[in-house]
């Protein structure tokens, strides 16, 4: 072939190369010495001008893998050697690849052909900008002819394949690397989209069109079908392109009125986004009737092949359906700028075809259960989902009404019920069609019910009936499943938590359906509850209640979801659907939500009776009850002022809808009426006490009590002020402070309980009472610790397991209380901490070999300092700081130089892990102390105090840094803590760093370098801050005529070997490297500018030199001049001065951003 | 509920009391101690499950014998008690290593303790011997539980003077 690169081939050598490659390929396949074989193959890829050899292999080898590798080698080599190939060479390589795929189109090894196509596409892209247009046209002329089928189906297939490869090569997400700037890739993307994409689509259309007749008549050959399905695939691929260069018309009001959504949703969950090719595509996609044609084609074909169950999974059927689903997502200016009619028509057309795939759902579902293919059904669901994302629920429902006597929601409801049934039946199996279909259909409900314009288009009457029926089926299926599974063992805890969040997500979606027909579904739930309550009370210990318990468990979960939102950490409101759902209810006693709530709460109350509790309040049922209570209290015990405010505001808005407003008011106020609210809160405390003391060892349940129920009640001021006045609450706190019963809780729970109980103090209105409350609560705990730590026989009893356990419990409680520090309670808690300080030091000594206790002490101090730091005056600060100093000294004297010996590697790892946790705690402690200093500094506290702090931190750092290795810094949590501390330290005390000894200094600088190259942008940011601090200090010192950091030298890799240089030059080099050659993240530009500016100012000479060096290295003159320009602007634009004041820093930030934007086009390459 | 006794450490100082202490299984955490098959162990994994959905919780412990490193497992209803060993760790200064594999240790009261054998494991042995051979001043930590003793840590407090 003319112009083919590479010299005249030597036949023997070619033969030898081919044999070597073939051998390597077969070795890899049988997994013999794969690394050796890979070396052989990669040598072909990287060798100079391997084209002749590759060509030889492609044409003569009988080993398909060898041909595959040869093709890849052509691509790699050509991209690498592009600069030295002549224009003829380039053209002939592309032509060769294309001819190869055409000529070998019937070859059975599709993957080799695909690879050669991909290489052709890659090279064509590489030359895309250089090649003149007519050359590209010549190539595409051939391709078009083949695609239109002139050269037979095999070539047709090959050509389609090539275009597919081309589209994916030009799409940014799938493009291969070429060592070219981003701009190049963008330019290619643009021209392809604007000039070629539509043509490609038309060719594929023509290919399908030409093949359609023979396929529909059943005369098509296998090759023809193959080409046709490839064409469908190509069309799908083109419609999946993310179109960027189109103009959208503005959203018009009329369109919104038509029922199309103004907020068409991107369905991220199913990886689908809108297809917006723009008005240019209108003719071929919309006005030409293309969609209708595709739909008709599929409908006719499925009818024709209905006898063959395998056809539905055939490539042609699958790819055609895929295209149809993609056509559903068409949006934007591809439709004419009318009132949305064209778009609605389009959706209706699709729906009328797709409906055959999913209707009637029960018949289809049963045939799938008998072994039929489910793919068409699932695709139908996907199409429905796309349609729903464009329409309001009203329009969605109406779309079907033109061809059926019921709406789309009706169909959806039937479809979802089938999915639920199938899902519930096969719950224990992996991935079934039922769970897929359920996921999709629940998402459709979510889309239509979550429409934020729902007020304007409420659900139709039959829509509501459909939703209500569906919910009944959902509940019945799940209740049956619950009863059936009641005797199974529960899963292992870890797996359990994953499945719980998945289950909650599903339940929340079910709940949404229930709320859309609240007037029927809530009474339905109430009825189910009362049936089961009755059943339980009839059992009388004769029948096993387990099945009923499991049903109740599930009912409690779903009812919680229906009645309340989950909203972690937010103020919960009563769900709007429930507030608006009962306009005709005016009597409190008749409100279904009210009756349902009270019936559940009254049932729960029975657990206070020991006999009944033993009979049927199993731990699991209690968990559901507690969970329900927590959510209910948070939602329905509405703050009184809020509930009144809401209603009165609403009354002004809407005087007419009197009944409507009244029912809202009922819902917002019923919980507090007749002292019910107080009774419920009292019950909350009583049930907590029962669960904490009589359900021994049920950690799940007790965690829910401490961390969910009690925490919820205490966190809300309006419930907390009530609860602290209750007798039951007083009993609980007394039991905690001086009883023994609560010591049976696990340590962690005692901590949460202490925190919750201490938190409540800030809701006691009278300050003195609040102080007394805390003293009563924590006094005995602190006292006990002190008393026992000062025992004379401490040494001999301390190591006993029960004593260790007790000490841990007390420490956990103290820590819990420390975490509850608030402005009002800070003083009391500081005193508490103060009284135990000496005891803690004693315990630290006694328990130096009990890592669990040591860790507990450290964690208490960490939380204590964290809570207290901001409040302390200078006296208190110095007490605290002295304490911390002694703590650090004792810890270090015990741990430096200690080697743990153990036979078992896992025990050794455990010990390591414990040390690692200690280290993190120490870092935290130092950071927390630092934060005090910052505040102290702002409030201008005494200088004495702040010096103390600096000392503590340096002692601490001296202890901690030798224990932290660079390996340990790879652990993200530790490294984050460490860098937070170091950067803070360098910012606040740069002068101390100057006085560090060489080892310590090198350790810090070494870790900074490590941090600058970290993946975590938080860490990099902190390091940049640290560098900024160091360099600014150095600069200011030198400005003042002092030495700064000049005495600290660093070894670094310069252009001519290792050299000793100052710390600022060292970091300057590092920063330039980072900015220019690494994948630098734009969000860090601000901090990078702050770090770079002082470095520039310190080392101006070196900077000029480095820039010069960089410019000289550039071969390409355009790049060189652009780079020079960018560097010039960096330091000269915006009137940059040589000061480190704020305005100047701002200017430099701007400059650096511009600089990075400038160079990103040609320095950071893909 | 309002039993207002103070919390005291209950253990009596008398030596020779029981070697273990009963503790509720639900409160034993990872990295705590536990007795399984009459061996003192360190817990490396705890998981919980229920016997039937409406039954009571039970804990599944995976633990490692603190002396011989063997892995042991146990399942206990979480409201029941488990035995927790008293694990004592004492520091001694290392005075001498004798030929027959015994060490001589200096107790706090100034006496010596000569009944402890060196570990049989080669790696541990060399760590102790090397340190001692280099003339460093070594503190060893001896772990004892349920009547067994073993050196478990080593600390260098500077060169011998």
Tens of pLDDT along chain B (161 residues) come to 334 444 455 444 444 457 889 999 999 988 899 999 999 999 999 988 888 888 889 999 999 999 888 999 999 999 999 999 999 888 898 888 887 878 888 888 888 888 888 877 777 778 788 877 777 788 888 999 998 988 888 887 765 44
Query: Residue B65 — φ and ψ, nearest 5°?
Result: -55, 125
Q: What is the pLDDT of residue A183?
A: 77
| Residue A618 Cα, gap to closest chain B Cα (Å) | 5
Q: In A295-422, which ranges are E strands?
A: none
Per-run averaged pLDDT (10 residues), chain A, 1166 residues: 73 89 88 84 85 91 91 89 84 91 86 93 90 88 89 90 93 82 84 91 91 84 90 93 76 61 64 80 88 93 88 91 92 82 90 91 88 90 90 86 88 92 77 84 88 59 89 94 82 59 88 91 95 84 82 94 81 85 84 94 94 90 94 87 52 51 84 88 95 90 93 90 93 90 90 94 90 93 91 85 91 95 90 94 90 92 91 84 87 78 77 84 86 55 55 73 72 84 82 72 82 83 90 85 65 50 82 79 84 87 87 79 86 81 88 80 52
Question: Which run of H or E residues covers position A455?
Answer: none
Distance between CA atoms of residues A424 and A1020, nearest Å: 49
Say whether B127 and A901 touch across the interface (CB within 8 A): yes
Q: What is the pLDDT of residue A42?
A: 87
| Residue B141 Cα, gap to closest chain A Cα (Å) | 8
Distance between CA atoms of residues A384 and A388, nearest Å: 6
Which of these, A98, A128, A97, lies nearest to A193 by C-alpha position? A128
**Who among A493, A546, A810 is closest to B54 (CB)?**
A546
Say whether B66 and A907 touch across the interface (CB within 8 A): yes
Residue of A786, A901, A915 to mutate, interface with B, max B Cβ within 10 Å: A901
- Helix-helix angle A518-539:A461-485, to 10 degrees: 20
Give the tokens for residue A262: 């103004």
Do the beta carbons of residue A607 and residue A622 sit within 8 Å?
Answer: yes
Sequence-distant (≥ 6) Cβ neighbours of residue A210 within 8 angstroms: A148, A149
Say whether A907 and B88 touch across the interface (CB within 8 A): no
DSSP A612-667: HHHHH--HHHHHHHHHHHHHHHHHHS--HHHHHHHHHHHHHH-SS-HHHHHHHHHH
Task: List residues bridging with A149 in a β-sheet.
Answer: none
Torsion over CA: A724, A730, A731, A737 (sign):
positive
Distance between CA atoms of residues A35 and A28, nearest Å: 8
Give A-chain residues touching B52 at CB under 8 angstroms.
Answer: 486-489, 546
Distance between CA atoms of residues B141 and B154, nearest Å: 6
Residue of B7, B10, B149 to mutate, interface with A, max A Cβ within 10 Å: B7
ipTM, interface predicted TM-score of the complex:
0.87
Distance between CA atoms of residues A712 and A538, nearest Å: 35
Say whether B1 and A791 touch across the interface (CB within 8 A): no
- Counted residue by residue, chain B has a size of 161
B-chain residue closest to A702, CA distance: B26
Which of these, A530, A559, A546, lies nearest to A624 by C-alpha position? A559
Do the beta carbons of residue A773 and residue A761 sit within 8 Å?
Answer: yes
Say whether A901 and B49 touch across the interface (CB within 8 A): no
Helices (H) and strands (E) in chain A, counts: 54, 3
Q: Is A591 helix (H, G, I), strand (E, B) or coil?
A: coil
Which of these, A16, A122, A136, lies nearest to A78 by C-alpha position? A122
Give A-chain residues touching B42 at CB under 8 angstroms.
Answer: 907, 910
Say whether A793 and B13 touch across the interface (CB within 8 A): yes
Give A-chain residues touching B157 at CB under 8 angstroms.
Answer: 897
Do the beta carbons of residue B26 and residue B78 sit within 8 Å?
Answer: yes
Q: In A680-825, which ranges are E strands?
A: none
Say whether B84 and A801 touch across the interface (CB within 8 A): yes
- For the entire predicted model, the pTM comes to 0.82
How would you list the strands of the sheet with B33-36, edge to edge? B33-36, B39-50, B57-65, B71-77
Q: What is the pLDDT of residue A120?
A: 93
- Helix-helix angle A747-759:A801-819, to 10 degrees: 30
Sequence-distant (≥ 6) Cβ neighbours of residue A729 within 8 angstroms: A685, A723, A760
Angle made by CA atoms B143, A920, A978, in degrees to the nearest 5: 140
Q: What is the pLDDT of residue A264?
A: 59
**Who among B29, B49, B87 is closest to A490 (CB)?**
B49
For chain A positions 1095-1114, those within 8 Å of chain B (CB to CB) are none
Give the tokens for residue A566: 């989950």
For chain A positions 762-821, those within 8 Å of chain B (CB to CB) are 780, 783-784, 787-788, 791, 793, 796-797, 799-803, 805-806, 810
For chain A positions 864-923, those within 8 Å of chain B (CB to CB) are 897-904, 906-907, 910, 914
Q: What is the pLDDT of residue B13?
A: 41
Helices (H) and strands (E) in chain B, counts: 1, 11
**Who among A546, A810, A906 is closest to B64 (CB)?**
A906
Give the tokens for residue B19: 């070697």
Q: What is the pLDDT of residue A841?
A: 94
Say whether B47 and A486 touch across the interface (CB within 8 A): no
Sequence-distant (≥ 6) Cβ neighbours of residue A779 within 8 angstroms: A737, A832
Distance between CA atoms of residues A330 and A327, nearest Å: 5
């Amino acid at each position: 072939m003319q112009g083919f690169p590479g010299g005249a081939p030597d036949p023997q050598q070619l033969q030898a190369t081919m044999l070597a490659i073939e051998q390597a390929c077969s070795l890899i396949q049988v997994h013999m010495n794969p690394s050796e074989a890979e070396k052989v193959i990669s040598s072909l890829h990287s060798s100079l001008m391997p084209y002749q050899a590759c060509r030889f292999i492609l044409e003569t080898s009988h080993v398909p893998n060898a041909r595959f590798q040869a093709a890849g080698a052509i691509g790699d080599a050509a991209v690498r050697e592009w600069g030295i190939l002549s224009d003829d060479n380039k053209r002939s390589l592309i032509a060769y690849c294309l001819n190869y795929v055409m000529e070998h189109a019937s070859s059975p090894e599709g993957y080799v052909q695909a690879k050669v196509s991909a290489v052709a596409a890659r090279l064509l892209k590489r030359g895309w900008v250089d090649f003149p247009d007519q050359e590209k046209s010549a190539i595409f002329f051939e391709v078009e002819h083949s695609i239109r089928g002139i050269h037979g189906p095999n070539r047709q297939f090959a050509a389609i394949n090539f275009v597919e490869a081309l589209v994916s090569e030009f799409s940014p997400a799938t493009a291969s690397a070429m060592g070219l700037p981003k701009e190049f890739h963008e330019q290619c993307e643009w021209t392809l989209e604007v000039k070629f994409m539509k043509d490609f689509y038309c060719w594929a259309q023509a290919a399908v069109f030409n093949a359609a007749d023979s396929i529909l008549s059943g005369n098509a050959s296998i090759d023809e079908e193959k080409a046709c399905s490839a064409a469908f695939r190509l069309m799908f691929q083109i419609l999946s392109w993310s179109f960027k260069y189109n103009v959208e018309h503005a959203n018009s009001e009329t369109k919104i009125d038509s029922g199309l959504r103004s907020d068409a949703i991107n369905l991220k969950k199913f990886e689908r986004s809108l297809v917006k090719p723009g008005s240019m595509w209108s003719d071929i996609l919309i006005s030409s009737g293309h969609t209708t044609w595709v739909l008709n084609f599929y409908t006719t074909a499925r009818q024709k092949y209905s006898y063959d169950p395998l056809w539905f999974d055939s490539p042609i059927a699958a790819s055609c359906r895929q295209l149809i689903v993609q056509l559903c997502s068409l949006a934007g200016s591809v439709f004419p700028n009318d009132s949305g009619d064209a778009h609605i028509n389009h959706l209706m057309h699709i729906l009328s075809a797709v409906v055959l795939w999913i209707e009637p759902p029960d018949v289809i579902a049963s045939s799938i259960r008998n072994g039929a293919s489910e793919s068409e059904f699932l695709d139908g669901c996907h199409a429905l989902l796309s349609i729903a994302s464009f329409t309001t629920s009203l329009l969605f429902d109406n779309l079907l009404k033109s061809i059926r006597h019921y709406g789309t929601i009706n169909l959806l409801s039937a479809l979802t019920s089938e999915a639920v049934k199938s899902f519930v039946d096969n719950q224990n199996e992996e991935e079934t069609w039922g769970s897929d279909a359920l996921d999709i259909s629940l998402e459709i409900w979510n889309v239509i019910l979550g429409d934020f314009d729902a007020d304007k288009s409420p659900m139709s009457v039959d829509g509501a009936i459909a939703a209500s029926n569906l919910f009944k089926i959902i509940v019945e299926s799940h209740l049956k499943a619950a009863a059936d599974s009641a005797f199974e063992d529960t899963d292992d805890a870890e797996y359990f938590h994953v499945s719980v969040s998945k289950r909650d997500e599903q339940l929340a979606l079910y709940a949404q359906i229930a709320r859309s027909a609240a007037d029927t579904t809530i009474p339905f739930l109430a009825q189910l509850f009362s049936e089961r309550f009755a059943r339980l009370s009839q059992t009388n210990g004769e029948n096993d209640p387990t099945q009923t318990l499991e049903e109740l468990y599930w009912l409690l979960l779903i009812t919680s979801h229906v009645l309340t939102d989950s909203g972690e950490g937010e103020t919960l409101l009563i769900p709007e659907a429930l507030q608006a759902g009962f306009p005709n209810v005016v009597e409190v006693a008749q409100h279904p939500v009210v009756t349902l709530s009270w019936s559940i709460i009254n049932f729960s109350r029975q657990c206070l009776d020991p006999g009944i509790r033993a009979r049927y309040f199993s731990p699991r049922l209690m968990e559901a009850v507690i969970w329900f209570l927590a959510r209910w209290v948070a939602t329905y015990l509405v703050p009184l002022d809020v509930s009144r405010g809401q209603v009165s505001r609403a009354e002004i808005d809407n005087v007419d809808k009197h009944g409507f407003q009244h029912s809202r008011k009922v819902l917002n106020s019923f919980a507090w009426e007749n002292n019910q609210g107080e009774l419920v809160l009292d019950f909350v405390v009583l049930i907590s006490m029962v669960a904490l003391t009589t359900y021994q060892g049920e950690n799940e349940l007790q965690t829910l009590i401490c961390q969910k129920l009690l925490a919820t009640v205490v966190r809300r001021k309006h419930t907390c002020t009530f609860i602290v006045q209750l007798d039951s609450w007083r009993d609980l706190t007394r039991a905690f402070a001086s009883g023994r019963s609560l010591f049976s809780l696990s340590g962690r729970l005692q901590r949460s309980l202490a925190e919750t109980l201490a938190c409540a103090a800030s809701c006691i209105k009278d300050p003195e009472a609040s102080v007394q409350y805390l003293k009563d609560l924590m006094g005995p705990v602190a006292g006990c610790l002190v008393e026992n730590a000062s025992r004379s026989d401490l040494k001999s009893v301390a190591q006993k397991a029960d004593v260790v356990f007790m000490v841990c419990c007390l420490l956990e409680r103290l820590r819990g209380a420390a975490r509850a520090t608030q402005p009002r309670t800070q003083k009391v808690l500081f005193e508490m901490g103060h009284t135990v300080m000496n005891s803690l030091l004693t315990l630290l000594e006694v328990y130096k070999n009990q890592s669990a206790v040591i860790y507990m002490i450290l964690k208490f101090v960490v939380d204590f300092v964290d809570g207290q730091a901001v409040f302390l005056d200078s006296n208190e600060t110095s007490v605290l700081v002295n304490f911390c100093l002694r703590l650090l000294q004792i810890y270090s004297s015990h741990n430096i130089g200690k080697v743990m010996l153990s036979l078992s590697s896992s025990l050794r790892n455990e010990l390591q892990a414990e040390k690692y946790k200690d280290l993190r705690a120490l870092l935290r402690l130092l950071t927390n102390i630092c934060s005090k200093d910052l505040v102290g500094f702002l409030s201008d506290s005494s200088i004495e105090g702040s010096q103390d702090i600096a000392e503590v931190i340096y002692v601490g750092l001296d202890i901690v840094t030798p224990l932290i290795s660079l390996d340990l810094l790879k652990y993200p949590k530790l490294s984050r803590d460490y860098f937070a501390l170091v950067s803070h330290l360098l910012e606040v005390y740069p002068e101390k760093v100057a006085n560090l000894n060489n080892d310590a200094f090198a350790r810090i600088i070494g870790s900074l370098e490590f941090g600058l190259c970290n993946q975590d942008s938080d860490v990099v940011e902190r390091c940049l801050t640290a560098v900024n601090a160091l360099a600014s200090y150095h600069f200011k010192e030198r400005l003042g005529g002092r030495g700064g950091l000049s005495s600290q030298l660093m070894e670094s890799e310069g252009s001519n070997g290792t050299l000793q240089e100052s710390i600022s030059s060292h970091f300057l080099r590092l920063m330039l490297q980072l900015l220019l050659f690494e994948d630098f993240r734009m969000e860090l530009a601000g901090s990078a500018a702050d770090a770079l500016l002082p470095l520039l100012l310190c080392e101006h000479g070196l900077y000029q030199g480095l820039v010069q060096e960089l410019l000289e290295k550039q071969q390409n003159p355009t790049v060189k001049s652009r780079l020079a320009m960018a560097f010039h602007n960096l330091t000269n634009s915006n009137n940059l001065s040589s000061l480190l004041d704020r305005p100047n820093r701002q200017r430099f930030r701007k400059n650096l951003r511009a600089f990075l934007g400038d160079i990103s086009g040609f320095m950071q390459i893909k | 509920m309002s039993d207002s006794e103070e919390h005291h450490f209950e253990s009596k100082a008398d030596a020779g009391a029981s070697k273990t202490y009963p503790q509720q299984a639900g409160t034993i955490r990872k990295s705590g101690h536990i007795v399984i098959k009459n061996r003192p162990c360190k817990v490396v994994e705890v998981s919980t499950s229920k016997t039937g959905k409406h039954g009571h919780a039970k804990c599944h412990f995976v633990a490692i014998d603190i002396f011989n490193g063997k892995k042991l497992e146990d399942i206990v209803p979480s409201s029941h008690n488990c035995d927790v060993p008293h694990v004592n760790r004492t520091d001694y200064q290392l005075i001498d290593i004798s030929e027959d594999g015994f060490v001589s240790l200096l107790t706090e009261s100034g006496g010596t303790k000569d009944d402890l054998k060196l570990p049989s494991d080669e790696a541990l042995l060399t760590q102790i011997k090397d340190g001692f051979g280099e003339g460093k001043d070594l503190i060893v930590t001896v772990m004892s539980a349920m009547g067994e003793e073993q050196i478990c840590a080593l600390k260098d407090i500077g060169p011998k003077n």
